[in-house]
Amino acid sequence: SGCFSLTPRFEGFRDAMNDFGIACDRGLVYELKLETPTSPYKEAVREAVEYLVSKNPRPDAIVCSNDLEAMVCLKELQSRGLAVPKDIAVVGFDDLKDASRCEPPLTTIHNPMNLLGLEAAKLILSIIEDPTRPTQSIVLPVTLVPRESA
């Protein structure tokens, strides 16, 4: 499988692959080259797709670090005449509303954004209450939302 970027989400992907005894081939990892987190990403995704589909053998799936990247990836693969998921599967992350509306509907990982916001607010309030409080990390559960792209 190919993957687009090196983030904590990638680390989770890599760890899950390792848990199933599947080596993560670094040659199939493409880190998007964005000047800023908000810079236009469509061209970066096009470059990533170009890189991944030129591999021999071509990966059977591309795991994107978010749904926006995955939806651009779907369109780019289709523009190259590749059928999703028959020729190559695509998976996103976040479960945005548009993920269920694209063609084909995007398989994704549901990220509980409301719960994430609530937990972040609690942490901020606890830091305001006690600025000496040690740093804390919270890991929230995510769930697979299987649709037609994988």
Q: What is the pLDDT of residue 140?
A: 87
The pLDDT score that the predictor gives to residue 76 is: 95
pLDDT value, residue 104: 97
What integer pLDDT is reported at residue 2 of this predicted model? 47
List strand residue ranges (DSSP E) for the chain, in order: 2-3, 61-63, 89-91, 108-110, 143-145
Position 50 scores a pLDDT of: 93
Nearest one of 97, 98, 106 to 64, comparing CA atoms: 106
Write down the mean pLDDT value for the chain.
86
**Distance (Å, whole) CA 63 – CA 55:** 15
Instruction: State which residues of the chain have pLDDT below 50.
Output: 1-6
Torsion of CA 36, 41, 43, 48, to 10 degrees: 100
- pLDDT of 7 reads 67
- In this predicted structure, what is the pLDDT of residue 3? 47
pLDDT of residue 37: 58
